[in-house]
Amino acid sequence: MKTQTATFIKNFSIYSAIIMLISIIIQNWIPVLKISTAWPYILLFMYGFTLFAFIMLVRYMSTKLTYFANAFMLVNFGKLVLFSVIIVVYALLNRDDAIPFTATFFIYYFLLTTFETVALLKLQKKL
């Protein structure tokens, strides 16, 4: 299990670095696309939170499938609630950046959660 987790961390870090480079390119050379000025913080927060969630879910993989399924749904529901609160609070405090922040957050959420889910499915097939 530890080698799969280490492999995930390495691949996820590379994937996140690619997202970071694309964000830099968009921010500097494609100003028509509005990206939140808080994008580095969003990406860093979501990177850390996704790593934490992945490691937590990997621990449940060795238990019954129902325990893993429950943990997966609870973690994703918790992420959805927490992220929604963050978006609403930020939007209320920074009205000028609310739409770019929400769009940036959603895109990062989609990209990172997709990577995490695919990695979990691959890991589950190996078990």
Per-residue pLDDT, 54 = 94
Chain centre to alpha carbon of residue 80: 11
Tell me the residue range of the domain where 101 lies.
2-126
Distance in angstroms (rounded) separating the CA atoms of residues 112 and 106: 10
Per-residue pLDDT, 66 = 86
pLDDT of residue 89 exceeding 90: yes
The two tokens of residue 40 are 């580095």
Average pLDDT over residues 37-52: 96
pLDDT-derived band at 1 (thresholds 50, 70, 90) equals: low
pLDDT of residue 15 exceeding 70: yes
The two tokens of residue 124 are 């589950």
Q: What is the pTM of this model?
A: 0.90
Beta-carbon neighbour count of residue 98 at 10 Å? 16
Q: What is the dihedral of CA 44, 45, 49, 54, to 10 degrees?
A: -20
Per-residue pLDDT, 61 = 85
Tens of pLDDT, residue by residue over 54-66, are 999 998 887 888 8
**The total number of structural domains that make up the chain:** 1
pLDDT of residue 80 exceeding 80: yes
Average pLDDT over residues 51-77: 89
Quick check: 43 and 35 in contact, CB under 8 A?
no
